[in-house]
Amino acid sequence: MFLKKQLKFRSKKHDMTSCTSHTNLNRGFSLAEILIGSSIICLSLILIINLETGISKLGFGSTQRVQAGMLAEEGVTAINSMRNASWQNIGVLSNNTLYGLYWNQSNKNWQATTTISLVDNKFTRTVVFTPINRDIASFNIVDSGGVPDTDTRGYVVSVSWQENGATSTRSLTSYIHNIYNK
């Protein structure tokens, strides 16, 4: 019985008539295969380059947003510094007027000016002060009515810059109070 299986196996092994027709097809690549392979490689490279460009733009925009946020926070610190030196630095500024902030190197202090200038040749930082009214009974800040509180001012520090042909802005809103009565 073992001999019969071995003979059957040999007879199948030596039957080459069905295999000879396939050997001519596997000699090399056809022009169509080369074109398709090249196209796939080129499209992949284009997609990778576009992805890298998009990531770079996203990272650059993110850097500008972080810088703008830090400049806005610096504006809040500048206003606190102005108040700490004297409430008159804040109290004399007109409501609803655009001011720029700058560091006065000779006096070593922050000052507000109506001249708006660029920060780092890219960002415009402004501050606008608003009057504050308080409810007489609760002394809470109210949007309308109440009595003016001359020792408290509202303000908005805004930082704007050009990004992809449009203006982007980051703003911080806060209050400042004459806590030192200077």
69 and 76 Cβ atoms separated by less than 8 Å: no
pLDDT of residue 68: 94
Give residue-wise pLDDT tens across range 40-82: 888 888 887 777 776 666 655 578 889 999 999 999 999 999 9
- What pLDDT does 116 receive? 93
**What is the distance between the alpha carbons of residues 164 and 69, in angstroms, rounded to a whole number?**
18
Residue 128 host element (H or E): strand 123-134
Report domain extents, the chain: 33-177
Residue 51 has a pLDDT of 77
- The per-residue pLDDT for 171 is 96
The predicted structure's pLDDT at residue 23: 52
For the chain, residues with pLDDT lower than 70 are 1-28, 54-61, 182
Decide: residue 90, CB within 10 A, 0-12 exposed, 13-18 middle, 19+ buried.
Answer: buried
Question: What stretch of H or E contains 10?
Answer: helix 2-13
Predicted local confidence at residue 101, as pLDDT? 95
The confidence score (pLDDT) of residue 50 equals 77
